[in-house]
Amino acid sequence: MKIIGVFGQQRGDEGKGRVVDMLAESCDMVARFNGGSNAGHTVVLPDGRELALHIVPSGIAHEKAVNIIGNGTIVDPIRFSEEIASIESLGITVTPEKLKVSSSAHLVLPHYKVLEEIRELGRSAQGSTKAGIADTYAAKAQRSGVRVERLLGSHDALLQVVRDGLNSVQMERKKHGLPPVDIENEVKIYSAAIVKLQPFVTDTSVYVNEHLAAGETLLAEGAQAFLLDIDHGMYPYVTSSSTTAGGVATGLGIAPTTLDRSIGIVKAVQSHVGGGPFVTEIHDEKLLDVLHGDMTTIDAEKGTTTGRVRRLGYLDITGIRRADMVNGTTELAITKLDWVPRYGKTIKVCTSYTYRGQTLSMAPDSAWALEKCEPVYEELSAWDEDITEVRSFSELPTAAQKYIEAIEKWTGLPVTYIGVGPRRDQVIIR
Ligand code: GDP
């Protein structure tokens, strides 16, 4: 098994971090191929401390893995250096031997963040993370972007681009009642950050291909999720990059050969941060209160990166079927099975939609069509037992086993991992 891909099959926050963290232990390379610091993984270390990762791959917490930030990603030098400092504060050393950043990835420039901040004030707000992601990818597509390779040339020239960019948005800020940016201070901060980033710059496509040819293994860690994919998600409520299996080839510069394993991560219940249609969304305030959990703990249903409270709903098999098709999913990992009993004595699962008088077993490909879909539910029994210390499938309550087996039947895929709590060891491997 040389190349393994891990993808969120729903709307994000599926718990990809813990699955990737588990697999990273036995992989030689762990790579991010899409997105920027808007992604967020929470890895709970063996001593219970939490490691929040945004652009750095999850292999950083392991001795052996070399971590790759591929050409399909975008890198904000300031957030990158902050993230390195936060990882190192937990006693994990980050060296250029352990982490490589593609020279072809694009740089987030400070004025892209300002443009996003302004857009979020107006009617075209999309509930974005204000990390400059959309504007950086837009600049890439318009061929006016700045790639990481520029760090290998004159920093003064690059800093002039930063200065010019910030100057170009000052008037717009003023128009929107925002205070002016202290440009020279921003340039100073950016300057310090690019010095930190520079030692990590590598031609990662060559690195990855050479090491694959030498027999090493690669774990491709998808950020965000299926419904947020720029092509296959619920456009326009999507992110600006490819979150699906096809993105692995373009985002790392490897041939589009089939992944040996394509693992789809599915949260046993469904959540979403941000706008867009949500066919199985729950609106019952009383139930939502229980489901959101204790907001002061890791248990809370709030985004790792944004801190925003998640919208919650019932498991939607129709959407997962579509994600399985596009990702060529070979197996599923179900997370948060321990959460199912919070929904009550029984839990609904959506297995098809009605759309304009028709029954659909697979979700349509647009937000516009999703808005018009009605869920068709089947109802399964929940259970009372605490399953957080269960480590084998046969020890799960019968209703929990049936929940997993129903997902296998509805998707036609084996469930190979089951999360029963956030800790590294709280998993059932089948
Ligand atoms: P990602 O966006 O898919 O990478 O999601 P994260 O890895 O950040 O996970 C979202 C949250 O779910 C984190 O707080 C995890 O600790 C938590 N989590 C993951 N798996 C489980 C699980 O099986 N049970 C519980 N209770 N929490 C989990």
214: left (phi over 0), alpha (psi -120 to 50) or beta: alpha
**Cα 87 to Cα 345: distance, rounded to the nearest angstrom:** 41
DSSP letter for each residue of 268-330: SSEEE-SSS--TTB---HHHHHHHH--TTSTTSSB-TTT-PBPEEE-EEHHHHHHHHHHHT--
124 Cα: distance to centroid of ligand 1 (angstroms) = 31
Categorize the per-residue pLDDT at 413 as very low, low, confident or very high, splitting at 50, 70 and 90: very high
Residues 94-149 have pLDDT tens digits of 999 999 999 999 999 999 999 988 888 876 666 667 789 999 999 999 999 999 99
Residues 326-344 have pLDDT tens digits of 999 999 999 999 999 999 9
Q: In sequence order, what E strands does 57-134 have?
A: 66-69, 74-75, 99-102, 106-107
Residue 324, phi then psi, degrees to nearest 5: -60, -40
Tokens 């031997």 belong to residue: 97
41 tagged catalytic:
yes
Atom of ligand 1 nearest to the CA of 337: 23
Categorize the per-residue pLDDT at 18 as very low, low, confident or very high, splitting at 50, 70 and 90: confident
Protein residue whose Cα sits closest to atom 14 of ligand 1: 298
Instruction: Please say whether the beta carbons of 240 and 34 come within 8 A.
Output: no
Q: Check residue 51 and give its pLDDT.
A: 87
Candidates 37, 336, 342, 418: which one to mutate for ligand 1, based on the most atoms within 8 Å of Cβ?
A: 336
**173 touches ligand 1 (CB under 6 Å):** no
The structural domains of the chain, ordered by start, are 2-102+200-262 (3.40.440.10), 106-197 (1.10.300.10), 266-429 (3.90.170.10)
**Catalytic one of 21, 41, 135, 324:** 41
Candidates 20, 302, 304: which one to mutate for ligand 1, based on the most atoms within 8 Å of Cβ?
A: 304
Instruction: Please say whether the beta carbons of 37 and 83 come within 8 A.
Output: yes
**14 touches ligand 1 (CB under 6 Å):** yes
Q: Which of 47, 48, 60 is nearest to 17 (CA)?
A: 60
Q: Which of 343, 335, 346 is nearest to 289 (CA)?
A: 343
CA distances from 37 to 133, 167, 319, 342, 388 (A): 8, 24, 26, 32, 31
Beta bridge partners of 309: 302
**264 touches ligand 1 (CB under 6 Å):** no
Q: What is the pTM of this model?
A: 0.93
Q: Which of 127, 83, 125, 140 is nearest to 310 (CA)?
A: 127
Whether the predicted pLDDT of 305 surpasses 90: no
Helix (H, G, I), strand (E, B) or coil at 31: strand
Atom of ligand 1 nearest to the CA of 17: 7
The DSSP letter of residue 33 is -
Average pLDDT, the chain: 92
Instruction: Please say whether the beta carbons of 278 and 313 come within 8 A.
Output: yes
**Cα 53 to Cα 64: distance, rounded to the nearest angstrom:** 18
407 Cα: distance to centroid of ligand 1 (angstroms) = 19
Least confident among 7-16, 312-321, 405-414: 7-16
Protein residue whose Cα sits closest to atom 28 of ligand 1: 422
**Catalytic one of 13, 21, 28, 229:** 13
Categorize the per-residue pLDDT at 35 as very low, low, confident or very high, splitting at 50, 70 and 90: very high
304 Cα: distance to centroid of ligand 1 (angstroms) = 9
**11 touches ligand 1 (CB under 6 Å):** no
Q: Reduced to 3 DSSP states, what percent helix, strand and coil does the chain have, rounded to the nearest 5?
A: 35, 20, 45
Protein residue whose Cα sits closest to atom 6 of ligand 1: 15
Protein residue whose Cα sits closest to atom 9 of ligand 1: 15
Q: Is 369 exposed, middle or buried (0-12, 13-18, 19+ CB in 10 A)?
A: middle
